[in-house]
Amino acid sequence: MSRFKRVLIIVGSVVTVVAMAVGGLFAWLWTGADVSTVGKASFDNALAIPPLAESTVDKDGTRVFDLRMRAGETEFNAGRKTPTWGFNGSYLGPTLRAARGEKVRVRIANGLDEASSVHWHGMHLPARMDGGPHQMIAPGGTWTPHWKVDQPAATLWYHPHPHGATEQHVRRGLAGLFILDDDKSRDLALPERYGVDDLPVIVQDVRFDGVKLAGGHKIMQNVGFLGDQTMVNGTLRPYKEVGDELIRVRLLNASTARTYAFGFPDGRAFSLIATDGGLLERPESMDRVQLSPGERAEIVVRMRAGERVMLRSFPQDNYGDAWNRRFGGGDDSFDVLELRAAGELRPSPAIPAALGELEAPDGKDAVRGRYFDLKRSGINGRSMVMDRVDETVTRGTTEVWTVRNSNGMPHNFHVHDVQFRVSEVNGEAPPAALRGPKDTVFLPNGTTMKLALRFTGPADPDTPYMYHCHLLYHEDEGMMGQFVVVDKGQRAHAPSQQTGRSGHEHEHEHG
Ligand code: C2O
Ligand code: CU
Ligand code: CU
C-alpha cells in the first residue's frame, strides 16, 4: 500500500468515527429535546385563584390599589420552600379590577433589593404611567401611577419591565391580572362569577433545580428559558371543581418564552369570546387556541355533568420548521388544568351570538405605514437604546405597521398603549383567533403581518412607549424599540430616565 493510501484510510476512518459520534449526539439531543407531561401525573392540587385586590375609593372617585413587590418563599411542592418574588404575597399578585370610565391609582412599593418597574400590559394610558424601563422604582422606593380607564372590557396583566432583567423578574413570580369591565360586557349573558364560572388561568412553565426555580437556557434553545412542566396561578398539577354548564377561562400566557396551543383531548370545540384587548364581534368556535408569551384569550367551554376534562397544550404546526419545533418547544405537550364537573350542573344561558362592535381600527383611514423587521439582534437592525427614539407617531392618527419575521426562529410583537387589529397575515385575511383586539401577536419564521393601530394620546414628546418581542430573553437582549406620541408638528425629545427616586412619591403631577 502506498503511504498516500494509508493516510487516506486513516483519515477516512477518523472522519467516519467523528461523523457517527456527531450523528449519535445529534440523535440523542433530538429525541431528548421534546417535553411532554401528558398523562404522566395525576392532578390533585386545588387550583389557587389569585385574590381580587382590595381597593378604596378616594374623595374624587379614584379607585386606589396597593401593590408591594417582595421576595418570599413558596411551597410549590409540599414541604419544599422555593425562593420566589410576588406582589403582596410570595408568588404572582392579586387580580386588579376596574371599570371603564373609572380613575385608578396604584400605590406601588418596591420591597425588593433591586430596582424594577410595573408595566400595565394592554392598557391605554399616558406614557409616564406605563411602567416601562423609563419608570424604574428603586429598591425601597415607591411609584404611584394614575390614569383613567378608557377602553373596552378586557383581561390585561401587569409585570415588571426593567431593561435587561424583565425575564428574571417575571420568571421569579412578578405578574398578575388586571381585569377591566364595562357596561356592554356586564349586559351580556357570559359567565362572570370570578373563580366560580369565570376562571383566571395564568399559565407558566417551570423547571426545578433542587428547590430553586431554574432559569438557564439549554443549548440550541434560541427562544429562551423552557420549563419541563407547567403551572396555573402558581399551582403545579392543578384541578378545579366547577358547577356550571359553561365555564369561562381567561387564559394568560405569562411564560417567558414558551408558546402554547390550548385545547381538549376529546377535541371538543369551545367558543373564543375575547382576545388581548377584549371581546370579539361574535364568538368563534374552535378546538385550539395558540398563545405566545404575553397573549390572552377568553374561551367558554361546555361541561358535561360528572366529567373530568384536561385543558391541554398540544404540539404546534404553526411554529416554524422541524428544528424550531423540536428545540424551541413547538413539539412539546402539557397537561395544564383538570376541570372536574359536579354531578349536577347549574344551567348556563347560551352564549350571545353577537358580542359587540370592535373599537380597534381597521386601517382604512391610515395616514402612514411603517415596517418592522424582527431579528434577535434587534428590530430593523437596531438593538434597544434607552435614549434613542425610534419612531414618532402623531396623536389622533391611524397607521398600518408591517411586521416581518424571517429570522429563522419564532418571535412575537407587542406594542404598548394600544389595542390594534390584525388586517393581514401573509397577504390573507386573518384567521378567527386574530380577529379581535390585540396587543401582542405571534410570528413564527416566515410570517408577515399587517397591523392597524390608532394612537389617541395623550401626546408626550419626552416619554416613549415600547414595542418589542415578548419572548423576554429576546426583549432583554435588545429586541425592543421606542416610540413617542406627539401632537401634530411637535418633535420628540430623547428621553431622560426617570430613575432612582427612592422613597419619594412623585405622583403630584395631576393634570
Ligand atoms: Cu408585557 Cu412591554 O410588555
Ligand atoms: Cu406591554
Ligand atoms: Cu423574539
Domains 198-346 and 368-486 share a fold: yes
The pLDDT score that the predictor gives to residue 217 is 83
What b/e string do you get for 433-452 counting C-beta neighbours within 10 Å, with b at 16 or more? bbbbbbbbbbbbbebebbbb
Q: Is 414 in the pocket of ligand 1 (CB under 6 A)?
A: yes
| Closest C-alpha residue for ligand 1 atom 3 | 121
The pLDDT score that the predictor gives to residue 498 is 52
How would CATH label the architecture of 198-346?
Answer: Sandwich (2.60)
Q: Of 481, 487, 496, nearest to 460 (Cα)?
A: 487
CATH of the domain spanning 368-486: 2.60.40.420
Superfamily of domain 45-182: Cupredoxins -  blue copper proteins (2.60.40.420)
Count of Cβ atoms closer than 10 Å to residue 396 Cβ:
14
Cell of 209: 433545580
Q: Identify whether the C-beta of residue 415 lies closer than 8 Å to the C-beta of residue 464.
A: no
Q: How many residues in total does the chain contain? A: 511
Give the number of the ligand closest to the Cα of residue 170: 1
The pLDDT score that the predictor gives to residue 103 is 98
pTM (global) more than 0.75:
yes
DSSP 282-330: EEEEES-EEE-TT-EEEEEEE--TT-EEEEEE---STT-SHHHHHHSST
**Ligand 3 center–CA 376 separation, angstroms:** 6
The pLDDT score that the predictor gives to residue 285 is 98
Pairing of strands 154-159, 334-346: unpaired
Count of Cβ atoms closer than 10 Å to residue 25 Cβ:
10
The pLDDT score that the predictor gives to residue 507 is 41
Domain boundaries of the chain, sorted by first residue: 45-182, 198-346, 368-486
Integer Cα distance of 444 and 492 in angstroms: 33
Count of Cβ atoms closer than 10 Å to residue 269 Cβ:
15
Q: Of 290, 320, 289, nearest to 410 (Cα)?
A: 320
The tens digit of pLDDT for each residue in 280-324 reads 999 999 999 999 999 999 999 999 999 999 999 999 999 999 999
The pLDDT score that the predictor gives to residue 511 is 32
Count of Cβ atoms closer than 10 Å to residue 329 Cβ:
27
Q: Is 468 in the pocket of ligand 1 (CB under 6 A)?
A: yes
Q: Identify whether the C-beta of residue 75 lies closer than 8 Å to the C-beta of residue 59.
A: no
Integer Cα distance of 486 and 482 in angstroms: 13
Give the number of the ligand closest to the Cα of residue 473: 3
pLDDT, averaged in runs of 10, over the chain (511 residues):
85 88 81 89 97 97 98 96 98 98 98 98 98 98 98 98 98 98 97 98 98 86 94 98 98 98 98 98 98 98 98 97 94 98 98 96 96 98 97 97 98 98 98 98 98 95 97 98 96 71 41 32
